[in-house]
């Protein structure tokens, strides 16, 4: 039967590095996500699921992480930031903003960032069931079970995919970290705390502003 854990606990390094194992995991993920599994993400072989059906037919050796539901605070912060970003982007005709659960396919990996921004230039990447290969900005809101994935696994994944901007939002610390892609990788350009106003340049003089005391109220 499958190995299921409630967080990204350690696994055998040999299994993590096995291309054969990762490919088996990928095929299982691709097959079952079309059926009755509430899968969230596929990250370098790790399958993250919200829940498993009682009578699920899980292949021998499949490895699944059971993720905890996000907190109400997480949802509140996501809703507020999503509304502010979507409103600004629409007012200035910059592109479109998407919220989880929206699949973003990056190579063989599939992620569901809390918020995705696609500029007009890249809207052709929006397919029927997913966004293919790129985003202009991704936002992850930390939860108790997602810290390692957001700060390590996804950080490297978004960096490798050359996504220009990555924001990490911490509801507990009441702060937002902004990372900008450089030739060397992601560089932290700013950290905004609860008593400050986040400022982000979308280009062409379009500056997005968000008061964090309202976001984290």
pLDDT digits (tens, 9 = 90+) for 168-188: 999 999 999 999 999 999 999
Question: Could you give the C-alpha distances from 38 to 47, 54, 89, 109, 132, in angstroms and in order?
Answer: 11, 12, 30, 16, 21
pLDDT digits (tens, 9 = 90+) for 3-19: 444 443 334 444 455 88
Q: List the domains of the chain with CATH numbers.
A: 3-66 (no CATH), 72-215 (3.90.1570.10)
Count CB atoms within 10 A of the CB of residue 111: 26
Over its length of 217 residues, how does the chain's per-residue pLDDT go in tens digits? Answer: 344 444 433 344 444 558 888 888 888 888 777 765 666 789 888 888 877 766 666 777 777 888 877 889 999 999 999 999 999 999 999 999 999 989 999 998 999 999 999 999 999 999 998 999 999 999 999 998 889 999 999 999 999 999 999 999 999 999 999 999 999 999 999 999 999 999 999 998 999 999 999 999 8
d(CA 138, CA 126): 15
φ and ψ at residue 130, rounded to 5 degrees: -165, 170
């Amino acid at each position: 039967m499958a190995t299921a854990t409630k967080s990204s606990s350690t696994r055998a390094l040999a299994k993590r590095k096995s291309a054969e194992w990762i490919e088996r995991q990928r095929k299982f993920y691709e097959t079952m996500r079309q059926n009755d599994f509430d899968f969230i993400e596929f990250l370098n072989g790790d399958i993250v699921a919200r829940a498993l059906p009682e009578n699920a037919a899980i292949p021998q050796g499949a490895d699944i992480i059971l993720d905890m539901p996000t907190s109400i605070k997480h949802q509140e912060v996501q809703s507020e930031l999503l509304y502010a970003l979507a409103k600004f982007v629409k007012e200035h005709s910059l592109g479109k903003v998407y919220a989880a659960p929206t699949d973003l396919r990056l190579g063989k990996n599939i992620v569901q960032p809390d918020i995705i921004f696609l500029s007009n230039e890249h809207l052709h990447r929006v397919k029927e069931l997913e966004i293919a290969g790129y985003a202009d900005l991704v936002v992850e809101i930390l939860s108790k079970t997602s810290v390692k994935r957001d700060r390590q696994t996804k950080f490297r994944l978004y960096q490798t995919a050359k996504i220009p901007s990555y924001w990490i939002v911490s509801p507990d610390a009441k702060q937002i970290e902004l990372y900008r892609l450089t030739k060397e990788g992601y560089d932290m350009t700013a950290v905004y705390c609860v008593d400050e106003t986040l400022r982000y340049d979308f280009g062409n003089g379009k500056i997005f502003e968000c008061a964090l005391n309202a976001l984290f109220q």
